[in-house]
Structure 1
Amino acid sequence: MATTVKIWDPFVRVFHWSLVASFAVAWLTAEDVRVLHEWAGYAAGALIGLRLVWGIMGTRYARFRQFIRSPGTVVAYLRDIATGREARYLGHNPAGGLMILALLATMAAVAATGWMQTTDTWFGVDWVEEVHEVLASVMLGLVGLHVLGVLVASLRHRENLVRAMFTGRKRLPGGADIH
């Protein structure tokens, strides 16, 4: 008898780890290896574009409509986390859904401002470079919050969410879990 259920499709998993890699490469090469930095940024931008399409046309748990919740639902979920009584979600929980939107939007803005610096119009424009650097730092902060959220949810629900993002599988739902 099965003890797990398939949640994350191969595209979502490959996208996730590819975006992690492209951001890490771009961050680590920002000052030293400009060509690699730019290609990592292009890869991140392309990945974001593909994920936007998959968020509309993809599998159930990949679709935005499955995990984008109202601000009130997000606030209520965060309140439940603070009191230790948050529900387990098979897909992304309301806080996770908001984090995905923040990560996608910020990474898209980082990629866009990076690309702008390669054009004749925006090359050497100080504010574009400054916005790019600030957004990259915001992205790093969001990544830290994302990792913290994954760790908290993993501990609270006794489920290895990092492993789930590799295997695509999570524990079967219980009676109180939200599909």
Structure 2
Amino acid sequence: MPKPAKTDRNISVAAGEQPEAREVRVWDRVVRSFHWALVLSFATAWLTRHSLEDIHHLAGYAAGALIALRLAWGVLGPPYARFSQFVRGPATVLGYLSAMLGGREARYIGHNPAGGAMVVALIAIMSATALTGWLMTTDAYFGVAWVETAHGLAAHGLLLLVLLHICGVALASFRHRENLVRAMITGRKRKAEQADIP
């Protein structure tokens, strides 16, 4: 029997073993589909905000429906999809951000504490954007200034969060030498190593 060969990541890999054997399934099809469908709906809504009103409304309704699905899946889905797996308290999130600034943050197999906080923030502000957008189409709130202002602020806040999210993904991908965009497409990440948090 051939001796195990060591990779540059100190993972023992038997000769002829497929790369998939060094990976673990993290994000299921529902989570991945939700993520990319939400990206598409937000991009569509943003690009049609001053034109193509019907498409803008449809994109907003799609985003609202996707959020409802994700909330249900965050309770009923597999372990890495559940909020209980990645939503952590403020002290843990701040501790992680402090470690990140010092370049010593741990690698998490699921969402890290900052990523979990970002998921919650994105869901909350996307919900606010969709809700205020819908209110603007009702008889009771059509043309009401504060609703229009709230919708605009929520949408711009959402764009800011999206940019922060992209920066966080890029930083984590660089620090842990792991393509997180690819992971959100395939659902697979590198198996946990000794210092990693499952």
Establish whether TM, by shorter chain, passes 0.5.
yes
Q: Which has the higher contact order (CA 8 A, sep 6+)?
A: 1
Q: Give me the TM-score of the superposition, normalised by structure 2.
A: 0.90
Partner residue, 1:173: 192
Partner residue, 2:146: 127
% identical aligned pairs? 60
Partner residue, 1:145: 164
Aligned-pair CA distance for 1:39? 0.2
4+ long deviations beyond 2 Å: none
Match of 1:111 among 107, 125, 130: 130
**Counterpart amino acid of 2:77?**
G
Tell me the distance in 1 between the aligned counterparts of 2:142 and 2:98. 45
Aligned-pair CA distance for 1:70? 1.0
**Per-residue Cα deviation, 1:7-52 (whole angstroms, up to 9, x for no partner):** 0000000000000000000000000110000000000000000000
Partner residue, 2:53: 34
Number of aligned pairs? 179
Match of 2:29 among 7, 10, 14: 10
Aligned-pair CA distance for 1:145? 0.3
Q: CA RMSD in A?
A: 0.5
Q: Give me the TM-score of the superposition, normalised by structure 1.
A: 0.99
Give runs of aligned pairs for residues 36-115 of structure 1, distance below 5 A. Answer: 36-115=55-134
Tell me the distance in 1 between the aligned counterparts of 2:50 and 2:146. 18
Secondary structure of the equivalent of 1:13?
A: helix
**Counterpart amino acid of 1:15?**
F
**Counterpart amino acid of 1:97?**
G
Partner residue, 2:4: none
Q: Give structure 2 stretches of 5+ with no counterpart.
A: 1-16
Secondary structure of the equivalent of 1:165?
A: helix
- Which structure has more helix as a fraction of its residues? 1
Q: Give structure 1 stretches of 5+ with no counterpart.
A: none
Partner residue, 2:155: 136
**Per-residue Cα deviation, 1:64-102 (whole angstroms, up to 9, x for no partner):** 000011111001000000000000000000000000000
Bigger Cα Rg: 2
**Per-residue Cα deviation, 1:78-127 (whole angstroms, up to 9, x for no partner):** 00000000000000000000000000000000000000011000001011
